[in-house]
Amino acid sequence: MSKITRRDFLKLVNRVMAAAGLAAVLGPVLAYFYPSDLTETPAEPVLVAPEADMPVGESRTVSFGRYSALVINTPAGLKAYSAVCTHFACIAKWDAEKRSIVCPCHDGYFDPLDGSVISGPPPTGLKPLQTEIKDGVIYVSAGEES
Ligand code: FES
């Protein structure tokens, strides 16, 4: 059995550290160019809130399958989007003061009326979802696009 010298051991540690560093750099780069599938959605509409609890300007973030959905009651009616930011998949939120959907991770701003990018690094707008009201309760679903 061969004996491992101190030099060999340090070379091994060096290579492991280099591999870990490379993975730490390549992981986010690969995630940017090959984003994970964010289309997994629940089969049934998801309850958001009673209509009476969401006046104009209010929003709700609800669990929507593996991800979150953002529902906003705008002056133009109910709007719903996947809350998953198209940049690095942080969860975007409604900012009532700024009247925008904001991603806190890198200051991405989205238009609440169509989910398009207003400013910041997100490459595309938020995925739109469908809303419906049944018996005074708001539901969100993937609609026909899923
Ligand atoms: S993850 Fe949303 S702006 Fe970067």
pLDDT digits (tens, 9 = 90+) for 40-53: 778 899 999 999 99
Instruction: Provide the pLDDT for residue 50.
Output: 97
All residue ranges of the chain with pLDDT < 70 are 1, 35-39, 144-146
User: From atom 1 of ligand 1, which residue's Cα is the shortest distance away?
Assistant: 88
The residue ranges of every structural domain in the chain are: 1-34, 46-145
Apex CA 140: angle with CA 42 and CA 121, to 5°?
Answer: 85
Instruction: Provide the pLDDT for residue 53.
Output: 96
- The residue whose CB lies within 8 Å of the most ligand 1 atoms, and thus the one to mutate among 105, 117, 124, 126, is 105
pTM recorded for the entire structure: 0.73
CATH, range 46-145: 2.102.10.10
Please state, in angstroms and rounded to a whole number, the distance separating the CA atoms of residues 128 and 126: 6
How far does residue 81's CA lie from ligand 1's centre (Å)? 15
How far does residue 127's CA lie from ligand 1's centre (Å)? 14
How far does residue 91's CA lie from ligand 1's centre (Å)? 8
Instruction: Provide the pLDDT for residue 146.
Output: 40
